[in-house]
Structure 1
Amino acid sequence: MTSLWTMHWALLVLPLAWAIPTPIITPLSPSGLKWEIPDAGYDLVAVHFSINADLPGVQAGRYNVDIPRKQGSSWVYVQKGVTLHPGDKVHYWLYALANGRPSQDLNQVWTYSGKNTQAPVTHAPVTQAPVTQAPATHAPAHHPKTEAATQKTPSSGQNIDSVSFNAVPKDCDDSPVCTSYPCLIFDDEFDTLDLKTWEHEITAGGGGNWEFQFYTNNRTNSYVRNGILYLKPTLTSDQYGTNFLEHGKLELWGAGPYDTCTGNQFYGCERQGVPGRVVNPIQSAKLRSSRGFNFKYGKVEIEAKLPTGDWLWPAIWMMPTYDAYGGWPASGEIDIMESRGNLHYTEPNGQSQGVNHMGSTIHFGPDWTHDRWDRGHAERDCKHGTFGDSFHKYGLEWDENNMKFFLDDELILTVDPGNDGFWKYGGYDKTHFNNPWAGASKMAPFDQEFYIIFNVAVGGQAYFPDNLVNAAYPKPWKDADSTAFWNARNLWYPTWKPTENNGEGAALQVNYVKVWKLKP
């Protein structure tokens, strides 16, 4: 998918309507952390916490959950996999809602004394839900894990349906050591939003196509519930008001390690609205694993349901960790899946280009004007309905010889550059360019570590060309005219169905991410 985040905390901190009772925090044996918040007539209680890390204001925290119902006289939540040692500090804040009145208890710290350890509770822990800044106007839709495909291991390529997690940690290191192959080295089923792995990009610059969204770290736009990761676009005016679009300044510079602008290019950290030129009218989410998980070669499988709604642009893709061969696209890009959310969007000949259509692509070349994406590209239609109706599997097998792309275990694209590598494969041997991959392996630039990205972009230029046909109404903007796009919101916004199922039909929904190492 080439191609005002400095929110003043004072605006986010709600006035204290009533005090939230002090929680009972109990470490469990052998691991786990139990939270009990005495009930005081609440409709919902949310917990944000980190271990031995400051949690100022209303930052998301390492763990963040809504507790949607109480057990007996308390709201109870058990976080699995947490191990505390004497002296460890739990930094936390609480949010509670009662009769439509919210309250927060911020900047709290609890220190583990090494006592009061219990055995694990026998009842099932409460399923995580998204944390909201304000009360929802209706009950959120239920999306149990069983709505997704039950097959959790890939069946394409090598037969690894029954492979278990056979990687073990090194001493004093979290890196896996494989004892047999195929070897599952990464598995996120989104029981929580793991912010050590998934970093939010914060930028208005998008991917270089002057899209209409800005990316932010906001639980309105990115959250986990019932084992599903949601990336959901919303209107900027929902957060800041309509007047802000033409008169406000969107400032994303930030101040801390997790709220600092991640992309200054294309005026990504600051935009000023003026009459006739609105700031980015959509806010959305983009997550990347570059801080938490990078790998070279293996099998990737991601099960996801794509967003439905006009001009939505979801992507599941990978970028190089270090740009070893230079700037884009000299160091490569791997697009596992890209699609468009429009329901009735076609080429002039009738070929679908909307949500019932997807593509896989690689990008490579000596500079951005000579990208030979056409040498590694395939497209497919959904066999039944659309990719927004149900979960589908998007896969990549990648080694020192080639790349293979899969849709629901079906091979749709193989890219093998041959022994002469991508320089000759792209036809650059007949040009005057210097070869950035000279002396490297045949797979260069795809012989380095990459990381995984999820995002939902909106509109912009290039990816929604003017010659494609939107049956319901003509494309309402030219080039990157965000104002024309915004002025046509009565046409496209209803297709996002914002009042149905909490607007989640317009969200990219990810059920799991798995990565295997296929050989030593």
Structure 2
Amino acid sequence: MLLILLFGLVASALAVNIPQPKLTHLSTGDIQLSLDDIPGAEQLDVAYSFGESNHQGKFHQNTDSRWYHRNHEAKYNGKDKIKYRIMVALDGKTIETNGKLTPGETGVAVLPPQKVRRGTVVFRDDFNGAFDPAGWNYEVSMYGGYNWEVQAYVPDARNIFTRNGHLFIKPTLTTDHPNYNDGNLNSATMDLTALYGYCTNADRYGCIREGRNGILPPVMSGKIKSKKTIRFGKVEARCRIPRGDWIWPAIWMLPRDSVYGGWPRSGEIDMMESRGNTVARDGSGHNHGVNEVGHLHWDQMPVIIDSVRRTGDLDGDWSHAMHTYRLDWTIDHIQVFVDNRHIMNIPQSRKVFGSLEDLVDPIFGAVEPKAAPFDKQFYLILNVAIAGTNGFFPDNWTYDQQKPWFSNSPTELQDFWNARFQWLQTWHGDDVAMECDYVEMTQY
């Protein structure tokens, strides 16, 4: 009886030391719960309710040592009290605490729409301190970019982190994750909702896969999307591209709302993309590896209307240093600069973008018919993809080593993983990461 009483007292004391979470109601409508570090905590789970809505999920520890839980589907009105129960796995025991949160007590931040003056910096991240998810949305999915890239995008500190004022988006082997190893990629289950509390894209088995139906994604990587958007303006990103075979980084933009139809009818702007291979030669002998960065501009139809590529810096390798990629986007043109060198210029005109009848906004009409579909709010994306079956790594090119899969192959993931002892030789430390000093979005 005495031992039971003592255990109860210890558990109660530990429960008291669980800090009250902070509730943030984000401008996107998401709920975010966060709380200070709990020394020795191994896992935090939460169950909460408001109104007639019940939710549950996990907390995930960020590099700032705080624990975060985010719910993209809560549809919280910012007014109701939230009742919660937090369960902490600590020293082999489960400690629980209960409480209530109200907007007035927790500093709920609801950001109203704002009219932005021309020349206003809408968003800037210098990546000082720990990575701050308040300005970004994580992609959490295995959908593969709709061309069966082999990575799973996850909000893991191994894949998205900051160091010395720089952001790193770094691909890692799935077998480095504690749930997976060389022996269970063909038998385990990858349930991203169970692992991270939510999944952002269920298409193409993006949220849950079973290894018995085909190998699980052999690589984990990162993709983040700015919560802020602009409609016409300047975007800058100072970044170093990754180096390593079959690595595919990108800095690009997509529309917040697909008012002209599904991708690509509502537009896409690619500020930078590259291949991490040192050798990727086409039939004419031109190399398209790390010595080159590309700038693509997509029309509303599924064709590339412009592609301009330039060789790298003096040593022919863009992965050795930071470079500044800048987009200048107005009603009259879309231009891309690299280190202030003018690389691409596309005029905004109906001759380029097709007939007006094809591009009528079903809600507002053609607000800026001259620039449509590039007359809407766009957000910024940073990501590092791996491989893919859309031909970005063509089968008939010559590489520094043989390409381990064929485009459109149904066994791409397995073929890629089987060849890991080849391509892993080219993956060295943080060289495989896209490293960024800052990003900035300015509204015109």
Question: What's the TM-score, normalizing by structure 1?
Answer: 0.63
Match status 1:390 vs 2:321: yes
Distance 1:324 1:237, change over 3 A: same
Between the aligned partners of 1:106 and 1:493, the Cα distance in structure 2 is 42
SS at match of 1:484: helix
CA RMSD in angstroms comes to 4.1
Match of 1:400 in 2: 331
| Aligned counterpart, 1:515 | 441
CA offset digits 1:154-189 (Å, max 9, x no partner): xxxxxxxxxxxxxxxxx985666656x532221111
The alignment partner of 1:504 has SS state of helix
Equivalent position SS for 2:242: coil
CA distance 1:177–1:391, shift in 2 (3 Å): same
Q: Deviations over 1:385-417 (max 9, x none)?
A: 322111111110111111111111111001113
- Work out whether 1:195 is the aligned partner of 2:133: yes
CA distance in 1, matches of 2:87, 2:165: 23
1:496 lines up with 2:427 in the alignment = yes
Partner of 1:425: 352
2:60 is aligned to 60
Matched residue SS, 2:379: strand
Q: Which runs of 5+ in 2 are unaligned?
A: 1-10, 21-35, 67-84, 102-108
Distance 1:400 1:459, change over 3 A: same
Matching residue within 465, 487, 494 for 2:418: 487
Distance change in 2, residues 1:188/1:56 (3 Å): farther
The offset of 1:109, in angstroms, is 9.4
- Alignment match, 1:377: 307
Which string of whole-angstrom CA distances, capped at 9 and with x for unpartnered residues, describes residues 462-508 of structure 1? 2101122112x2111112411111111111012112xxxxx211111
- Do the aligned partners of 1:184 and 1:517 also contact (CA within 8 Å) in 2? yes
Q: For the residues of structure 2 that align with 1:259 and 1:235, how far apart are their CA atoms?
A: 21
The aligned counterpart of 1:125 is none
1:435 equivalenced with 2:358 (yes/no) = yes
Q: Is the 8 A contact 1:223 1:229 kept in 2?
A: yes
* Aligned amino acid, residue 490 of structure 1: F
Q: Secondary structure at the match of 2:319?
A: coil
For the residues of structure 2 that align with 1:334 and 1:434, how far apart are their CA atoms? 22
From the superposition, tell whether residues 233 and 218 of structure 1 become closer, same or farther in structure 2 (CA, over 3 Å): same
Distance, in Å, in 2 between the alignment partners of 1:172 and 1:274 is 44
DSSP 3-state at the match of 2:392: coil
Choose between structure 1 and 2: higher strand proportion: 2
CA contact (8 A) 1:58 1:93 kept: no
Corresponding residue SS for 2:336: strand
Give the 5 Å matches for 1:53-452.
59-60=59-60, 64-65=63-64, 173=111, 182-191=119-128, 192-239=130-177, 240-252=180-192, 254=193, 259-274=197-212, 277-289=214-226, 292-366=227-301, 371-373=302-304, 375-385=305-315, 386-418=317-349, 421=350, 424-426=351-353, 428=354, 435-437=358-360, 440=366, 441-452=369-380
Unpaired runs of at least 5, structure 1: 1-15, 26-34, 68-90, 97-101, 113-170, 498-502
Matches within 5 A, 1:460-479: 460-461=388-389, 462-471=391-400, 473-479=401-407
Distance 1:445 1:210 in 2: 27
Deviation, structure 1 residue 259 = 3.0
Other-structure match for 2:105: none
Q: 1:64 to 1:238 in 2, by over 3 A?
A: closer
Point out the structure with the larger helix share: 2
Deviation of 1:194 (Å): 2.3
**Corresponding position of 2:78:** none
Deviations 1:230-287 (A, max 9, x none): 11111112220112211122223x279x732211222212222238x42211111111
* Amino acid in structure 2 at the alignment position of 1:243: G
Task: Give, in whole Å, the separation in 2 of the partners of 1:354 and 1:379.
Answer: 11
CA gap of 1:109–1:414, structure 2 versus 1, over 3 A, is farther
Change (3 A) 1:513 1:466: same
In structure 2, the CA distance between the partners of 1:274 and 1:295, relative to structure 1 (3 Å rule), is same
**Any idea what the Cα deviations from partners look like across 1:104-160, whole Å, max 9, x if unmatched?**
998789999xxxxxxxxxxxxxxxxxxxxxxxxxxxxxxxxxxxxxxxxxxxxxxxx
What corresponds to 1:155 in structure 2?
A: none
Change (3 A) 1:106 1:460: farther
Relative to structure 1, the CA distance from residue 494 to residue 208 in structure 2 (aligned partners, 3 Å threshold; closer, same or farther) is: same
Pick closer, same or farther for the CA change 1:222–1:411 going to 2, 3 Å.
same
Superposed CA offset, 1:282-327 (max 9, x none): 11111112xx212211100011111111000101111111101010
